[in-house]
Amino acid sequence: MDGDKNIMPSTREFTEEEVERYGTEFWPKLPSYRAEDRSIESCDLIPLFKMMKWPRTDSQIRQYTLFNEKTWGGRIKFENWRGAMLTAHDRIGYLRWTAETLDSNGDGYISREEYEFGMDLLTGHEPELAKVPYEQMVREADVDGDGRISIEEMIKWLDTIDNRIRP
Ligand SMILES: [Ca+2]
Ligand SMILES: [Ca+2]
């Protein structure tokens, strides 16, 4: 995936060993760390990324924080964070992870609100990704024509937006 270095210049691949090591070495050092459920608060993402030497822009941090607030009530568990880290370098993997996480009310469908929030996150994470309006996404993604977008339909659709990242 040589072309990807232009799309996500500051993103590198994290191995499982690395991510586990961050969990063991860095997480317990964070002020909001809670051992019972192995979680931290959003505000500790900044020191965490610093320890990892993984530079993130203010706008990326803002989007991650919003996502954490909305999806997990502001407390991120290591397991959830681990999933994000392992797919951070791989656009499609990250999109899949996001699609599954997007369904914040757990009804198996991506609502307009859930979709728009996710688009903001994705374009924050990856500024070159084109923002597709909800109506257009439904036209393209609603394969069974029931007017709703299931998680499966969302994942398939996300796979196809590869082509429209840049003109
Ligand atoms: Ca939903
Ligand atoms: Ca559908």
Q: According to the model, what pLDDT value does residue 98 have?
A: 73
Distance (angstroms) between ligand 1 centre and the Cα of 107 equals 5
With a cut of 50, say whether residue 2 has pLDDT above it: no
Q: According to the model, what pLDDT value does residue 162 have?
A: 59
**Which runs of E-coded beta strand occur in the chain?**
39-41, 75-77
> Domain 91-167 is of which CATH architecture?
Orthogonal Bundle (1.10)
Q: pLDDT by residue (tens digit) across 98-155?
A: 788 888 888 999 999 999 988 887 777 777 777 889 999 999 999 999 999 998 899 8
> Can 12-89 and 91-167 be said to share one CATH topology?
yes
Distance (angstroms) between ligand 1 centre and the Cα of 47 equals 32
91 pLDDT tier (thresholds 50, 70, 90): low
Q: Which ligand is nearest to the CA of 117?
A: 1
Q: For all residues of the chain together, what is the average pLDDT?
A: 83
CA distance 9 to 126: 10
Q: According to the model, what pLDDT value does residue 96 have?
A: 73
Distance (angstroms) between ligand 2 centre and the Cα of 154 equals 9
- 12-89: CATH topology: Recoverin; domain 1 (1.10.238)
| Sequence spans of domains, the chain | 12-89, 91-167
